[in-house]
Amino acid sequence: MQTATLTRKAPRPRADALRNRERIVTAAREMFVEHGADVPLDEIARRAGVGNATVYRNFPDRDALVREVVCSVVDRTAEAAEQSLAETGDAFAALERFVHAAADERISALCPMVSSTFDQNHPDLEASRERLEQLVEEIMGRARGAGQLRPDVGVGDLLIVVSQLSRPPAGTDCLSSDRFVHRHLQLFLDGLRAPARSALPGAAMTIEELRRS
């Protein structure tokens, strides 16, 4: 007679534990933008309304928290891309909505956080980054297929310009320039419309080149 083997399921995190983790990530994202990635963890805990032990219980070191914040922002930006793709109608208008939403997520402010100790090939980061790149490619492909997007720009071109135009310098009065971000992004977007008034020098930036940069 065989005895049935009981398989224990891993306990699911409690709702309050999940809320604490989300509060920590949100507070860290805000403070990294305002002050840079070297902000003390106890300051992050204070803004999140949790104890230091709760921060370390969720994130054993600073790199783990930085990685979670980067993945969180990339995932939120990907969700904005999905929402743009779900909207039927003008394809270029969907591209515009995505670009402005990406700027609001401050994805570019995270670039200085990727230090020499940061694992850029971590599976979580790779998965988030690949998902975003594929979605942006789809948005641009739809606008290009509709004859609205000039054919000589690539995903890398779009993402790097969004980063350059919307990156706030951490540790300064970065929010004072917010009122110019969407104005300058719209000027850039108008330059992406087809037909193009001029030929771009060089070649479109590829995803591989974007990652190396």
Portion of the chain with pLDDT greater than 70, in percent: 82
Asked if residue 99 has pLDDT above 90, the reply is yes
pTM over 0.85: no
Confidence class of residue 199 from pLDDT cuts 50, 70 and 90?
A: confident
Confidence class of residue 117 from pLDDT cuts 50, 70 and 90?
A: low
Asked if residue 211 has pLDDT above 90, the reply is no
Beta carbons within 8 Å of 92's beta carbon, 6+ residues apart:
143, 146, 148, 149, 193
What is the mean predicted confidence (pLDDT) over 9-26? 80
**Gap between the Cα atoms of 28 and 155, Å rounded:** 28
Beta carbons within 8 Å of 127's beta carbon, 6+ residues apart:
none
Confidence class of residue 89 from pLDDT cuts 50, 70 and 90?
A: confident
Q: Any idea which of 15-19, 43-47, 121-125, 176-180 has the lowest mean pLDDT?
A: 176-180
Asked if residue 76 has pLDDT above 70, the reply is yes
Q: What is the pLDDT of residue 180?
A: 81
Q: What is the pLDDT of residue 45?
A: 96
Q: What is the pLDDT of residue 111?
A: 62
What separation in angstroms does the CA of 106 have from each of 30, 54, 134, 141, 178?
Answer: 10, 26, 20, 24, 11
Per-residue pLDDT of 142-183, as tens digits, reads 999 999 999 999 999 998 888 888 765 555 555 555 678 888
Radius of gyration of the chain, Cα coordinates, nearest whole angstrom:
20
Mean pLDDT, the chain, rounded, equals 84
**Gap between the Cα atoms of 163 and 157, Å rounded:** 10
Beta carbons within 8 Å of 63's beta carbon, 6+ residues apart:
117, 118, 119
Confidence class of residue 59 from pLDDT cuts 50, 70 and 90?
A: very high
Question: Which tokens go with 155?
Answer: 């995903």
Q: Any idea which of 28-42, 119-133, 161-175, 196-210 has the lowest mean pLDDT?
A: 161-175
Q: What is the pLDDT of residue 148?
A: 96
DSSP line for 107-140? GGGGGGG--TTS-TT-HHHHHHHHHHHHHHHHHH
User: Which residue(s) pair with 22 in the sheet?
Assistant: none
Q: What is the pLDDT of residue 17?
A: 83
Backbone CA torsion sign across 25, 27, 29, 31? negative
**Gap between the Cα atoms of 32 and 11, Å rounded:** 32
Asked if residue 112 has pLDDT above 70, the reply is no
**Gap between the Cα atoms of 154 and 159, Å rounded:** 9
CA 173 to chain centre: 22
